Structure 1
Amino acid sequence: MSVLWAALAIVFVICLLNLVLTIAVIRRLREHTELLNRGGGQHPGQEEITLPAGSRVGEFSAVTVDDRTLTREDLRPGMLVAFFSPRCPTCEEEKPAFIRYASGLPGGPDQVIAVLLGTPEELAGLREELGEVARIVIEPDVDGAMSTAFALRGYPAFCLMGQDGVLQVTGFRVDVLPDSVAL
């Protein structure tokens, strides 16, 4: 009989340990989801979502969906570069403000680049929505040429260009961008 009680005690301890570990994993997943919903874990005072303002964008060569090659030399002052993913709730929240902002830029879609991260199939709707206000570049993930050049660490990300490929303003919300852009 004592062997039975010992076995039951061991099973009870294992079940209790399993429950504690499961609760810890659930808490961690909630924290992780919360960070992702805030734009890739971006918090004030922490690491930038891209290179910080004042940094020069790295060299890159990317091709738009209409077969135009883009390099760092194509980044003009006042140009807006944005990064979106279809799997990002914050991207969906910021999309209307981005479209309004990009629509008001002088120069139209030639002054805006939207880098979409994902497969062409999952990006079809986003590509159509943003194609009216921006030139579109599709990259499979954050290891793409433009994502690497901008040191992308999360999305959405909005970058306003200054002189010589230097970032003037960066952030994960459209409201960090100035109301008017001096060209």
Structure 2
Amino acid sequence: MSVLWAALAIVFIICLLNLVLTVAVIRRLREHTELINRGGGHPPGQEEITLPAGARVGEFSAVTGDDRTVTRDDLRPGMLVAFFSPRCPTCEEQKPAFIRYASGLPGGRDQVIAVLLGSPEELGGLREELGGIAQIVIEGDVDGAMAAAFGLRGYPAFCLMGQDGVLQVTGFKVDVLPDSVAL
């Protein structure tokens, strides 16, 4: 009989240990989910995903999908510049809000630039989806000309331009952008 009690005690201890480990894993997964939802997983304390509002964008030259060259001098007040990657779950979550916001901007797609980060093969669907509302610039990664000029440290990133290439508003969620844009 004592062997049976010993076996039951061992099973009980193993189940209790399993329960404690499961709770720890669930807690850690919640922390990771929270980090991802706060902006593509940038480190805590690093709230700026691009240069901060008030900073001037660096010099750059990029070519849009329409074979138009874009430089810092082409960034007009009220213009929206967004950075997306197809490998980013937060980008996918923010895309519908971005499409709604960009579609409502006066000036149409001439007032919006979407910088897509990744290989041309993986960007096909994203390019099709955003091409009707934005000028598309494709860059390989965060070391591309526009990403470097904007100080991109993660994605998605949304930048509303002010005067003379100065960032008016920046953030990793569309809801940081003002309801209406004065041009």
TM-score, normalising length: structure 1: 0.80
CA distance in 1, matches of 2:34, 2:179: 29
Aligned counterpart, 1:118: 118
Share of identical aligned residues, percent? 85
Aligned counterpart, 1:70: 70
CA distance in 2, matches of 1:160, 1:43: 23
Aligned counterpart, 1:162: 162
CA distance in 1, matches of 2:91, 2:129: 13
Q: Which amino acid aligns with 2:138?
A: I
CA distance in 1, matches of 2:40, 2:93: 14
Task: Give aligned pairs, total.
Answer: 158
Where does the alignment leave 5 or more consecutive residues of structure 1 unmatched? Answer: 1-25
Q: Which amino acid aligns with 1:170?
A: T
Contact 1:85 1:117 in 2 (8 A): yes
Query: Considering only aligned residues, what root-mean-square deviation do their CA atoms show, in Å?
Result: 2.2
What's the offset of the Cα at 1:164? 0.2
What's the offset of the Cα at 1:45? 4.8
Structure 1, residues 36-64: CA drift from partner, whole Å, max 9, x if none?
A: 45423347853410000000000000000
Contact 1:110 1:134 in 2 (8 A): yes
Matched, 1:180 2:168: no
- Note closer, same or farther for the CA distance 1:39–1:108 as it changes in structure 2 (3 Å cut): same
SS at match of 1:40: coil
Q: Which amino acid aligns with 2:55?
A: S
Could you list the runs of 4 or more consecutive aligned residues of structure 1 that deviate by over 6 angstroms after TM superposition? none
SS at match of 1:158: strand
CA distance in 1, matches of 2:44, 2:165: 25
Bigger Cα displacement from structure 2, 155-164 vs 36-45: 36-45
Alignment of 1:132-151 (within 5 A): 132-151=132-151
CA distance in 1, matches of 2:93, 2:151: 23
TM-score, normalising length: structure 2: 0.80
Bigger Cα displacement from structure 2, 47-56 vs 31-40: 31-40
Structure 1, residues 92-118: CA drift from partner, whole Å, max 9, x if none?
A: 000000000000000000000000000
Aligned counterpart, 1:128: 128
SS at match of 2:182: coil
Aligned counterpart, 2:48: 48
CA distance in 1, matches of 2:86, 2:138: 12
CA distance in 1, matches of 2:125, 2:87: 12
Contact 2:81 2:115 in 1 (8 A): yes
CA distance in 1, matches of 2:64, 2:53: 25
SS at match of 1:90: helix
Aligned counterpart, 2:105: 105
Contact 1:37 1:88 in 2 (8 A): no
